[in-house]
Structure 1
Amino acid sequence: MTCVGHFSAGMARIATLPVFLEAELVRIRPWRSTSPEVMAGWGRKPSWEKARRYAAHHRVPLWTLEDGFFRSLGLGVAGSPAHSLIVDPVGIYFDATAPSRLEQMILADDLDAETRQRAQHLMQQVVDWRLSKYNTAPDSPLPPSNGRPRVLVIDQTFNDASVRYGLANAETFRRMLDESIADNPGAEILVKIHPDVLAGKKQGYLLEAARAAGCTLLAEPRSPWAVLDAVDAVYTVTSQMGFEALLAGKTVHCFGMPFYAGWGLTRDRQSSPRRGVSRDLVALFAHAVLRYPRYINPYTRQPCSPEEALGRIAEQYRQQEVSRGRWQSVGLSRRKRRFVSDFLGAAADVSHVSAGTLPSSMDDDARVVGWAASMPLELPEREAQAGRGLWRVEDGFLRSVGLGVDLVEPLSLVLDSRGIYFDPTAPSDLEVLLAETRFDESMRVRARALRERLVALRLTKYNVGHACDLNAPPGRKVILVPGQVETDASIRCGAGAVRTNRQLLEAVRAANPSAWIVYKPHPDVISGARVGEVSSDDGLVDQELIDADMPSLLDQVDEVHTITSLAGFEAILRGVAVTTYGMPFYAGWGLTTDRLDAPRRGRSLSLDELVAGTLILYPRYRDPSSGELVDVETAVSLLEAWKKAQPAQALSLFQRFYRLVRRRR
């Protein structure tokens, strides 16, 4: 492994930097004997200058590091981990005074047809996803312009390195503002000011001049794409927003020399003797986004493709925007309050109300959320009368390694604005999603890969139990009957005439008198925490398995018969025939044999479409280490790692006490 030396305390704190560099990172100290093969420094910081001098003296290569152009969901200073990093052995992209590796790539432009096609596809996705370097600001539109054309002028923070090394200074900004006004008579000039400049925390270049010229100041947090939607042209010195404006199809005037200038794509006020050749936008994007940065999954700490990284950020941003705003949780335990807030995301402002102290009036501006299976009984009717929406939250379908009853925190939750997936008496977001979504080929391909990976890794909701061998008699049909907790909400809401484990076994035996029936009690029942035991002494069951893991059972059975158990869904994923006696979320779509009708469903779905809706689009997934929302593929990787690393542990005294309390409810 390459030894990379540096002088930066900040670089030493980036836990994922060795993964990006594929190297051992060593901070140079006077008292430590070190012989690095490469030196590295960040941007053009003083520590980079020290690294440069050290590299020159010791005749070793120098790498210059910077964040990629699409870095993360949140800000780095707020602790949001980076998904991309630039490692440049030549210079750095924002320094127009010297060559960079990016500049050399664009000049050579040795792209093959496949890479151009990849770039064009990903470029369109970036536009559709509305991604930027950071993705914390709300995507809220600007007020109407009353028919006037609009032009955007972008300020930057004073003495920023991209300004100093982008062939610009304070006079450049003033000239840019003057020309934007002169070029666009009658237009509304929007000047984007950094919020810290308006608050007096930082200094910019254009605040006073823009005020004096009667320009409209934009300082509140807002997605760059929301601003670009409202303007016809963009004036910038070196801001990355100029690159995003090109992706948005805007005319971009450059007064400095950013990496995207000098290639015939922008209207430039300066020139670079090293550039001066024309490149199209696809080529620029391919080199700047596909080839120049390195990408990792910061939650699993594994390298990944640009498509995977940007798709992951896009999914985080989508979930963040859905739950942006004020929330009030009702009746959540202290433990649930903590992780539910994480699942709502950093843009959610969450307050909590205890069920026993439900106030006479709730916050009218906040969305109300409660745990679906245990929310106060009066809450749904009360919120309906008040005209407020009630959101229900529950465990997701890939939950954890270990049982919820043992207080193992969930990796996934579902957040439903209509109902909840286990209650077929009313529509849920999942039901509507499955009934109405047009699943395109890329989503079906993604779902198929996810399904195949789950099966190969033998992952289920709880991931408990041990492999087993049924030893069923040859020639007999083998039917698995998964037991359920009979007091569960899924039974209360989704069962028909068959409502208990015994009734289910009786129905299965009556319909299949010669079958080999295997009964697996629910893990919560076996744990002693919940109710639902049955006796296996009366001929209904041929084999009862207490601690068997679900994948090994599903490998050996012909059919699964269930009321509403998630085991039915896990069986469908593995190609096992399923008969339902209730109405679980996966029934009614043409993939199961159903004893009850579902008049609201009726649409025939492919297995991959069911997987796409159920595991990709409906739930939320959270990385417990960072607290950030992640995509389902990351969640699967985390489950895989935890399952391999999880030793068998005895329950704590508190967990045993909690099981006893739950059983007596």
Structure 2
Amino acid sequence: MIQRFGVPEIGLLAHRTVPALLAPAQLLPGRRRDVEALLAWGRRPSARRVECLGRRWQLPVWHLEDGLLRSLAKGRQHPPLALLVDDLGVHFDATQPSRMEQQIQQPLTPSQHNRARELQQRWCAQRLSKLNPARESPAPAEPFVLVVDQSAGDCSIGLGQAGPESFRCMLQEALRDQPDCLVVVKVHPDVIRGRARGHFRRRDLQHPRIRICADGLHPAALLEQALAVYVVTSQMGFEALLWGRTVHCFGMPFYAGWGLTHDRLPAPVRRVQMVPLEALVHAALVAGTRCVDPHHHQPCPIETLMDAIGLQRRLQGADPQRVEAFGFTPWKQRSLKRFLAGSELRFRLPRALPGPRAEAVAVWGRRARPRLLATARQRALPVLQVEDGFLRSVGLGADLIDPISWVVDRRGMYYDATESSDLEHRLATVHWNEAQLERAEALRQQLVEQAITKYNLSGDGWQRPKGGRRVVLVVGQVESDASIRYGAPGITTNLALLEAVRAAEPEAFLIYKPHPDVVAGLCRSGEGEERAGQVCDCLLGDGSIHALFEQVDALHVLTSLAGFEALLRGVEVNCWGLPFYAGWGLTNDRLSSPRRGRPLPLAALVHAALIDYPRYVSRHSGWFITPEQAIEELVAWRDAPAAPRTLVQALFRHWGRLRSR
């Protein structure tokens, strides 16, 4: 194991992930001899100079290249998350041996064979490529074959025993071999951006059966549906093999010469062995590849990286491309950019109307103006209603604490019982399979064991009084909250709720806990709420809501999320309004909705509300994460020393207190 690499190419360290990808070895920049090996990038001219230096100093040279699953995009903001590390050569250089070439010929153990097959399935299920923009090139409706161009001067072409003429020969043969099909020519993204030239001249592409794909989007749909794929040395040939496509090679890429492709060139004598696809997959994605997770840049298996990139693609591609946002404060604008990462956002003044290029509008909760909604309906523009998720942060949103979770709803909003929402629609119609319900139950247990709630506020515990009295908790809310306006058609004040519970449970020991924003002075107390102490047995301003769940027998709420959190912990919940979790046979309900009534297991509610509905964004990377990862980040955030308030946060809190008086 090499402990100290010399890095004569200083530019190799431009990407901040490279040291992590080569850990635990040290990377020592500059020309120095007190190292065990030198590092070079691919077959660049600078790599040749490093090789000369290695021969002079009698040091081995290891070559690096981007992994076959590199990242979301190129550029400084998107460093490589996987590297191919080769101590013999470079994988795309067919003129010399490489470590990957040797690894492809190694027999696989049963576990390696199974892992390779699962990697192939995962690659297709996550719809991956080397670079991973969210949106995909649309595939033609009629039968077609795919011809893949490359940028002129690509090292892999000459080192793959091909040249410019190979591309014209490839196109002519595709037209001849497939007389009844369209021939889709996929242009390289660098050519589209003007950074390089392609290999086809205008007159080469005049055939009536040729269609040009020059959108620079993801190739998954094309590879999934093509009848065959024609390449010179492009990595897309390897990806086509993963999709089970027939691949014709007009050069000698690393995946050619093994009996898996139709090759127009003779294979090097080193590639005389026929191998199964699993051997190629294991060598290319496991044996010679090093990966780091995108959030902390720590070493990880490639499966972790595949799932992370697949999640970005799904969520970034879920929203319209051009979204105009109305009424978002500067602080919320920053968060919206993270939660709508796949869209081009334009922030508009609250009283403006959508521009001609808008494909959707985004608003906070139910605050959209009627005129804006009418215009969106008239133009058939989706309205994306955004709100805090159910696992939000460590600290209050009113303190300008950035959220880790938001929801984006196209039908309505989860707290609005007057109409359906995406969440209610899922609860009313979706059937979850056994694996999904098992995941939901494991997530519920993780959340309960880690004592995670929406805001994760600290506080002293509370001990129930001795004796056999039933202990009941009533949770207060901010009475101006939209969830009361749209989800509580009967009782609408905290005091009225408290009095109703006292009447319903006259013998119980009654605890009243006001909303944290009211306790902090950031929101006004409710009408008559100062008399709450005269109705209850205990008025508890501070204290952890999670600790209270362990001490009480039942909970009474209007629409508070605390009812959902109590359900997760097996506490009896009584609803006096219509929160999203009421009406599914899990709570004692005073009201009913004609759209609800389907009995659901708790695991189904958990899957819908915590897995399907919200979006979670990492505080570290800004990437989308799973709810399980969100809980891990919330626990670390909560257990870390509290950060001092910024000046902006302090001023905002002071302003909030003045406003609430």
1:566 Cα deviation after fit = 1.4
Distance 2:118 2:433 in 1: 15
Distance 2:79 2:602 in 1: 34
Q: Which residue of 2 is the match for residue 29 of structure 1?
A: 30
Alignment of 1:483-522 (within 5 A): 483-522=476-515
String of CA shifts for 1:446-499, please: whole Å, max 9, x gaps.
333433333333222222222423253243333332221111001111114232
Q: Specify whether residues 490 and 340 from structure 1 end up closer, same or farther in structure 2 by C-alpha distance, changes over 3 A only.
A: same
Structure 1: any 5+ residue segments left out of the alignment? none
**Bigger mean CA offset, 644-653 vs 403-412:** 644-653
Distance 2:588 2:441 in 1: 22
Distance 2:51 2:459 in 1: 56
Distance 2:586 2:48 in 1: 63
String of CA shifts for 1:217-269, please: whole Å, max 9, x gaps.
22122321222355311110111111222222221101222222222221112
Distance 1:575 1:50 in 2: 67
TM-score normalised to the size of structure 1?
0.90
Q: Which residue of 1 is the match for residue 543 of structure 2?
A: 548
Q: Contact (CA 8 Å) 2:398, 2:653: kept in 1 or not?
A: no
Letter of the aligned partner of 1:85 in structure 2? L
Q: Which residue of 2 is the match for residue 44 of structure 1?
A: 43
Letter of the aligned partner of 1:663 in structure 2? S
The Cα RMSD (Å) is 2.9
Alignment of 1:562-573 (within 5 A): 562-573=557-568
Alignment of 1:222-261 (within 5 A): 222-261=217-256
Letter of the aligned partner of 1:7 in structure 2? P
1:459 corresponds, among 419, 427, 452, to 452
TM-score normalised to the size of structure 2?
0.90
Q: Which residue of 2 is the match for residue 13 of structure 1?
A: 14
String of CA shifts for 1:379-426, please: whole Å, max 9, x gaps.
334533554332211111222222111112222211111001111211
Q: Which residue of 2 is the match for residue 657 of structure 1?
A: 654
Q: Specify whether residues 47 and 591 from structure 1 end up closer, same or farther in structure 2 by C-alpha distance, changes over 3 A only.
A: farther
Q: Contact (CA 8 Å) 2:151, 2:191: kept in 1 or not?
A: yes
Q: Specify whether residues 106 and 578 from structure 1 end up closer, same or farther in structure 2 by C-alpha distance, changes over 3 A only.
A: farther
Matched, 1:170 2:164: yes
1:200 Cα deviation after fit = 4.6
1:54 Cα deviation after fit = 5.2
Q: Contact (CA 8 Å) 1:12, 1:27: kept in 2 or not?
A: no
Q: Which residue of 1 is the match for residue 188 of structure 2?
A: 194
Alignment of 1:314-353 (within 5 A): 314-346=310-342, 348-353=343-348
Secondary structure class of the residue paired with 2:270:
coil
1:567 Cα deviation after fit = 1.7
Q: Which residue of 1 is the match for residue 272 of structure 2?
A: 276
Q: Contact (CA 8 Å) 2:66, 2:83: kept in 1 or not?
A: yes
Alignment of 1:389-408 (within 5 A): 389-408=382-401
Matched, 1:151 2:145: yes
Structure 2: any 5+ residue segments left out of the alignment? none
Q: Which residue of 2 is the match for residue 100 of structure 1?
A: 98
Letter of the aligned partner of 2:406 in structure 1? L
Corresponding residue pairs, total: 654
Q: Contact (CA 8 Å) 1:7, 1:48: kept in 2 or not?
A: no
**Bigger mean CA offset, 498-507 vs 412-421:** 498-507
Secondary structure class of the residue paired with 1:415:
strand
**Bigger mean CA offset, 364-373 vs 479-488:** 364-373
Q: Specify whether residues 2 and 510 from structure 1 end up closer, same or farther in structure 2 by C-alpha distance, changes over 3 A only.
A: farther
Letter of the aligned partner of 1:162 in structure 2? S
Q: Contact (CA 8 Å) 1:8, 1:27: kept in 2 or not?
A: no
Q: Specify whether residues 382 and 209 from structure 1 end up closer, same or farther in structure 2 by C-alpha distance, changes over 3 A only.
A: closer
1:293 corresponds, among 273, 283, 289, to 289
Q: Contact (CA 8 Å) 2:574, 2:587: kept in 1 or not?
A: yes
Q: Specify whether residues 174 and 606 from structure 1 end up closer, same or farther in structure 2 by C-alpha distance, changes over 3 A only.
A: same
**Bigger mean CA offset, 483-492 vs 393-402:** 393-402
Q: Which residue of 2 is the match for residue 529 of structure 1?
A: 522
Distance 2:334 2:507 in 1: 51
Q: Which residue of 2 is the match for residue 354 of structure 1?
A: 349
Q: Which residue of 2 is the match for residue 308 of structure 1?
A: 304
Q: Which residue of 1 is the match for residue 590 of structure 2?
A: 595
Q: Contact (CA 8 Å) 1:138, 1:223: kept in 2 or not?
A: yes
Distance 1:53 1:453 in 2: 55
1:427 Cα deviation after fit = 0.7
Q: Specify whether residues 245 and 500 from structure 1 end up closer, same or farther in structure 2 by C-alpha distance, changes over 3 A only.
A: same
Secondary structure class of the residue paired with 1:338:
helix
Distance 2:62 2:468 in 1: 67
1:505 Cα deviation after fit = 2.2
Q: Specify whether residues 437 and 87 from structure 1 end up closer, same or farther in structure 2 by C-alpha distance, changes over 3 A only.
A: farther
Distance 1:564 1:58 in 2: 73
1:78 Cα deviation after fit = 5.4
Letter of the aligned partner of 1:14 in structure 2? H
**Bigger mean CA offset, 484-493 vs 175-184:** 175-184
Letter of the aligned partner of 2:361 in structure 1? V
Distance 1:327 1:232 in 2: 36
Q: Specify whether residues 469 and 142 from structure 1 end up closer, same or farther in structure 2 by C-alpha distance, changes over 3 A only.
A: same
1:115 Cα deviation after fit = 4.2
1:582 corresponds, among 577, 582, 585, to 577
String of CA shifts for 1:1-27, please: whole Å, max 9, x gaps.
944432343442333333332225434
1:198 Cα deviation after fit = 5.2
Q: Contact (CA 8 Å) 1:425, 1:493: kept in 2 or not?
A: yes
Q: Contact (CA 8 Å) 1:364, 1:388: kept in 2 or not?
A: no
Q: Which residue of 2 is the match for residue 139 of structure 1?
A: 136
1:60 Cα deviation after fit = 5.8
Letter of the aligned partner of 1:565 in structure 2? S
Secondary structure class of the residue paired with 1:162:
helix
**Bigger mean CA offset, 437-446 vs 573-582:** 437-446
Distance 1:635 1:62 in 2: 41
